[in-house]
Structure 1
Amino acid sequence: MVGQPLDTVKVRSQIASPGTYRGPMDVLTRTVSAEGILALYKGMASPLIGIAAQNALLFTAFQSAKRLISPSTQALSIPQIAAAGAIAGGVNSILSSPVELFKIRMQAQITSRNSNSEVAKSKKLSAVAKEVYSTYGVKNGVMRGFWVTVMREVPAYAGFYTGFELAKGGFRTYLPSETTRNGLPVWALMLSGSCGGILNWLACYPLDVIKSRIQLSDHPLPRGLGGPLVLKYVSEEASKIYRTEGARAFLVGLSPTLLRAIPAAAATFTTFELVKAALDES
């Protein structure tokens, strides 16, 4: 709920035609002016419904991947943590791909006020989901862009967990031992989580731009392999963006994304660590 408005700004920045907006603040002010402040929460129902299952799958996959990589109780190295995060990200794509597809299609519904200062109604999530499924089915509709989601999630969650563990290790090293005797304080966990969230997006952001464009479009995706990004449909979309908008298009919307990542990842990691510690003690 805290991060959704900035996520809407990010998505609308990514999918807008060149020259539509002057920057993230322009997206924000024009959205609120034309559609009202609640427009910033368009598409929130999809992640709100799916986020518990997504995080459950993500953290379970990460813990399982850690045991797979190192069955012993010995602490994992940073490269091993990155590998476990990458595996968890790939598994997480099973849920994150359809959840984000519906979210993006909701956020892309840009309406304006009429002469009576009323905003035209956007389609509800149920209507969007029904339309996608009935028109395109599961493979080409609900799961559209699954493999580009995998390509994004693998480096993203390698960075996510690496940033978190590196920050935690730094706090354990430099904080007084009496402070960390019973685990890191909440503020240190939150800062560590924020580091993970920032590294998450820095590791994958251009792929997120490509994914948003692919999941919003309706044209048939080219099949097969080809191009520098392996999958033909991903390489062709990347080439189209670069050819028509230039390299800067791959970073459009990054600033609100990083701002959103700070509280969102801090809350996610801190909650997980505190709940895990409580369960370990019970």
Structure 2
Amino acid sequence: MTVALDLIAGSIAGAAQVIVGQPLDTIKTRAQIAPKGMFKGNWDIFIQTVRKEGIFALYKGMLSPLLGIAGVNSLLFASYAVSKRIVSPFPEKSLKEIALAGGMAGAANAILASPVEMFKVRMQGQYGAAGDQRLRAVFAEVAKDGLRRGVMRGYWVTVAREIPAYAAFYAGFEYQKRRWLATHPNQSIPVYALVGSGSFGGICYWLACYPLDVIKSRVQLAKTPPSGINYIANEFRTILSTQGFKGLFIGLAPSLLRTIPAAGATFAMFELSHEYLSKHTKL
């Protein structure tokens, strides 16, 4: 029953995350993958995107995560709940145990997150040209390369990203939430504190994994699938040689700006919907 609650509440939270955060996610992804010299910075990406493609271009690629986020977030929150029980049978967990459970949930989450991210990046990597493809055409093109080299391209770098990211995500959220509860004993945590704790967790998420996210986006957008088991290291060296160390953090600013409302909305919606379903359903 608890898993069912996590699945439903996770779906609701995931939809809120996508709707709130998609515009800045588009700017972040374009900063990571755009050809050198195409944009002058994050603000220029925003201006050119709106001017040339219209305001709704900021939501380009949203259909893939919006359709897939129910499964992704359901898997994430359910895996996290199960992982916490595996890590320790006791209800009170240390922050180290929370981080371990979060990392385990992240590894499981990569199974669905990898293909969802693949199609989102492909859609965001189109700049309003006449030959831009719809999601159905992108799917058909990617599927030609098969499951491993096409649909699941970038799976291992996604796993490498998700483990530290969600360890930091859940530990950051729990740390901030516990700080609030410690200063307000015997009180239920309000929505604004949940939003703030979720936002802090989201910032921890990106700081823990951002270079790997840059590598993932570039691998998933590349015309040819990666070969060999060292493709993560190869792409890392390519970024360093062409853009320098700063290339590993390009687009970080819109990611952090996006995560403040998006992660806050995710945790707040999860906690609130979970509480509501517990009270008003038989689950």
Normalising by structure 1, we get a TM-score of: 0.90
Highest RCO, 1 vs 2 (Cα 8 Å, sep ≥ 6): 2
Residue 83 of structure 1 corresponds to 100
How far did 1:259 drift? 0.8
Residue 190 of structure 1 corresponds to 195
Question: Could you say which structure has the higher helix fraction?
Answer: 2
Distance 1:29 1:138 in 2: 36
Aligned pairs for 1:181-260 within 5 A: 183-224=188-229, 232-260=230-258
Cα-to-partner distance string for 1:15-61 (whole Å, 9 max, x where unaligned): 02333222100011011111111211111100010111111000000
Residue 48 of structure 1 corresponds to 66
Residue 139 of structure 2 corresponds to 129
Residue 117 of structure 1 corresponds to none
How far did 1:90 drift? 0.5
Cα-to-partner distance string for 1:65-123 (whole Å, 9 max, x where unaligned): 000000233x11001100000000010001110001000000111125xxxxxxx3631
Q: Alignment partner for residue 158 of structure 2, among 149, 153, 167?
A: 149
8 Å contact kept, 2:153–2:225? no
How far did 1:220 drift? 3.7
Distance 1:38 1:111 in 2: 11
How far did 1:281 drift? 3.6
Q: Percent identity?
A: 52
* Structure 1: segments with no counterpart, 5+ residues: 113-119, 225-231
Distance 1:246 1:158 in 2: 28
Residue 170 of structure 1 corresponds to 179
Query: What SS does structure 2 have at the residue aligned with 1:2?
Result: helix
Cα-to-partner distance string for 1:125-177 (whole Å, 9 max, x where unaligned): 111111110x20111100000000000000110011011000001001112x3
8 Å contact kept, 2:199–2:264? yes
Distance 2:79 2:146 in 1: 28
Return closer, same or farther for 1:121/1:37 CA change in 2, 3 Å cut-off.
farther
Residue 21 of structure 2 corresponds to 3
Return closer, same or farther for 1:32/1:68 CA change in 2, 3 Å cut-off.
same
| Residue identity in the other structure for 2:221 | L
Deviates more, 1:271-280 or 1:210-219: 271-280
Return closer, same or farther for 1:168/1:242 CA change in 2, 3 Å cut-off.
same
How far did 1:189 drift? 0.6
Q: Alignment partner for residue 261 of structure 1, among 259, 262, 272?
A: 259
Normalising by structure 2, we get a TM-score of: 0.89
| Residue identity in the other structure for 1:45 | L
Query: What SS does structure 2 have at the residue aligned with 1:218?
Result: coil
How far did 1:274 drift? 1.5
Cα-to-partner distance string for 1:195-228 (whole Å, 9 max, x where unaligned): 111111111001000000000112242313xxxx
8 Å contact kept, 2:34–2:125? no
Distance 1:240 1:121 in 2: 28
Residue 76 of structure 2 corresponds to 58
Distance 1:63 1:211 in 2: 27
Distance 1:262 1:15 in 2: 23
How far did 1:267 drift? 1.0
Query: What SS does structure 1 have at the residue aligned with 2:226?
Result: coil
Count of aligned pairs: 262
Residue 16 of structure 2 corresponds to none
User: Which ranges of 4 or more aligned residues in structure 1 deviate by more than 3 Å?
Assistant: 279-282
Q: Alignment partner for residue 118 of structure 2, among 101, 109, 115?
A: 101
